[in-house]
Homo-oligomer: A and B are copies of this chain.
Amino acid sequence: MEKFAVLGCGVVGSGVVELFEKNKALIEKRSGKELEMGYILDLRDFPDRPYANLLVKKIDPILADPDVTVVAECMGGVEPAFTFVKQCLEAGKSVATSNKELVAAKGDILLKTAKEYNVNFFFEASVGGAIPIIRPLHKCLAANDFSAIAGILNGTTNFILNKMIKENMDFSAALALAQEKGYAEKDPTADVDGHDACRKICILSSLAFGKHVYPESVHTKGIREVALKDVELCGKLGYSIKLIARVQRLENGKILPTVMPMAVEEDNLLSQVNGVYNAVMVRGDGISKAMFYGRGAGKFPTASAVLGDMIEEVQLDHTIPSQTWENVNSTDFIEDFSAFSAKRYIRTSAADAAVLREVFGDLTLEQTTDTGEAVLVTETSMNAAQVERAGEALAQKGIKLLAEYPVLVS
């Protein structure tokens, strides 16, 4: 018999307890062992819950109980989660976490601690909620030299953009609806400004390329400034504006992680990912490309991923130190955003074709709106400096560059 403990009895933590109790027989069969939920740590009281008798307010009884072999951390935030997780690992207990903030900030340290104490630190639930992506990347696709990962990793912003695309809501109205439905927090900063997606692409980049990528190294732009007009016009040109978290490996061997709204072609499956769903497209030399799709958040989807880690820990019989990546104390392997180059969707204040072609070169598509504005997609890739220079060249002709989005290559 093995005992589980859960840290944090919020949405995800209570989901772990409830899904475990619901599917206990199945989970025990698949684990090959008898299992028991032993403790739930939370400062709050939940006297009416059926599992109220399991609640504890301190980490100590969990650390002290030798029968507890696997701990789920579902508290969120860096502290006290980091301290508790480290204590658990040092006490010889493996940990499965859903906490992307913790993994993005302290993953290297916790992976090292886990290895030192011969236990596992798992974090499948930290990226993409229910979507299996950590284990596939680390195991199933381990024979691949990865070249790029691109994903819709934040359900809240995807819900908002989707409402803008499909129902012509503007950003504020769509955000208010997301808050009403409980998809967005009262303070939506972490989601709409891209910080949440940034943490997740840090984790995927670290795993794919073997060195810890910190959030500070990632060029991160959210969706606050996405205008309904561009969503509509982009759509007419055959593109959807999506918040894309992405990392690519450049020819110089460095990697370039970004989070920003991008124009995604209609025949790219990522453009078809709607509502609160997430998806991750992975490119490698063996597989060409593969995509993973599912619910990126929510009580039971996230609990499913946490429990999947806990079950594997039991199946593994606690013998396998988990994956690791290096803390290189350097960002030399990360390319500066100035090197980022892509075709661009552009909106300008006037539709003078001759001038636009002079400034942007060949254009695949062009269209004049009823206000006299032009929208186009360039045929050549441009970096930020080139876009800026193009804006200056246009200004000299009295034309304003009103909006621009990089195009995601499928």
Name the residue on B nearest A146 (C-beta): B26
Which B residues lie within 8 Å of A284 (CB)?
304
Name the residue on B nearest A282 (C-beta): B294
**CB–CB A320/B311 < 8 A:** no
Check if A257 is an interface residue, CB within 8 A of chain B: no
**CB–CB B142/A27 < 8 A:** yes
**CB–CB B290/A19 < 8 A:** no
Check if A77 is an interface residue, CB within 8 A of chain B: no
The residue among A23, A144, A210, A315 with the most chain B CB atoms within 10 A of its own CB is: A144
Q: Say how far A60's CB is from chain B's closest CB, in angstroms.
A: 28
**CB–CB B285/A143 < 8 A:** no
Which B residues lie within 8 Å of A287 (CB)?
130, 294-295, 300-301, 304
Check if A397 is an interface residue, CB within 8 A of chain B: no
**What is the 8 Å Cβ interface bit string for chain A, positions 266-293, against chain B (1 contact, 0 not)?**
0101001110000000001111111111
Which B residues lie within 8 Å of A274 (CB)?
267
Which B residues lie within 8 Å of A132 (CB)?
132, 135-136, 139-141, 290, 292
Partner of A19, one of B26, B30, B286, B294: B286
* Complex CA–CA separation, A287 to B315 (angstroms): 21
Q: Say how far A335's CB is from chain B's closest CB, in angstroms.
A: 20
Partner of A291, one of B289, B294, B305, B310: B294
**CB–CB B140/A124 < 8 A:** yes
**CB–CB A30/B142 < 8 A:** yes
* Complex CA–CA separation, A19 to B284 (angstroms): 11
Which B residues lie within 8 Å of A26 (CB)?
145
**CB–CB A135/B140 < 8 A:** yes
Check if A49 is an interface residue, CB within 8 A of chain B: no
**CB–CB A293/B269 < 8 A:** yes
**What is the 8 Å Cβ interface bit string for chain A, positions 1-36, against chain B (1 contact, 0 not)?**
000000000000000000110110011011100000
**CB–CB B140/A290 < 8 A:** no
Q: Say how far A89's CB is from chain B's closest CB, in angstroms.
A: 19
* Complex CA–CA separation, A138 to B19 (angstroms): 17
**CB–CB A307/B22 < 8 A:** no
* Complex CA–CA separation, A392 to B142 (angstroms): 56
Which B residues lie within 8 Å of A180 (CB)?
none
Which B residues lie within 8 Å of A141 (CB)?
132, 304, 308
**What is the 8 Å Cβ interface bit string for chain A, positions 309-320, against chain B (1 contact, 0 not)?**
011100111011
Q: Say how far A247's CB is from chain B's closest CB, in angstroms.
A: 17
Check if A131 is an interface residue, CB within 8 A of chain B: yes
Complex interface residues of chain A between 119 and 139 (CB less than 8 A to chain B): 124, 130-132, 135-136, 138-139
* Complex CA–CA separation, A46 to B305 (angstroms): 46
Check if A303 is an interface residue, CB within 8 A of chain B: yes
Which B residues lie within 8 Å of A142 (CB)?
27, 30-31, 307-308, 311-312
**CB–CB A293/B295 < 8 A:** no
The residue among A131, A136, A273 with the most chain B CB atoms within 10 A of its own CB is: A136
**CB–CB B285/A23 < 8 A:** yes
- Provide a sorted-by-A list of 17 A–B residue pairs whose CB atoms are within 8 angstroms: A20-B143, A22-B145, A23-B144, A130-B288, A132-B132, A132-B290, A135-B140, A139-B311, A284-B304, A286-B300, A288-B300, A288-B301, A290-B294, A292-B293, A316-B316, A317-B320, A319-B319
The interface of chain A, by Cβ under 8 A from chain B, is 19-20, 22-23, 26-27, 29-31, 124, 130-132, 135-136, 138-145, 210, 267, 269, 272-274, 284-295, 300-301, 303-305, 307-308, 310-312, 315-317, 319-320
Excluding A143-B311, A317-B320, A319-B319, 12 further A-B contacts by CB distance (< 8 Å) are: A23-B145, A132-B136, A136-B136, A139-B308, A141-B308, A142-B308, A267-B274, A284-B304, A286-B307, A287-B295, A291-B291, A317-B319
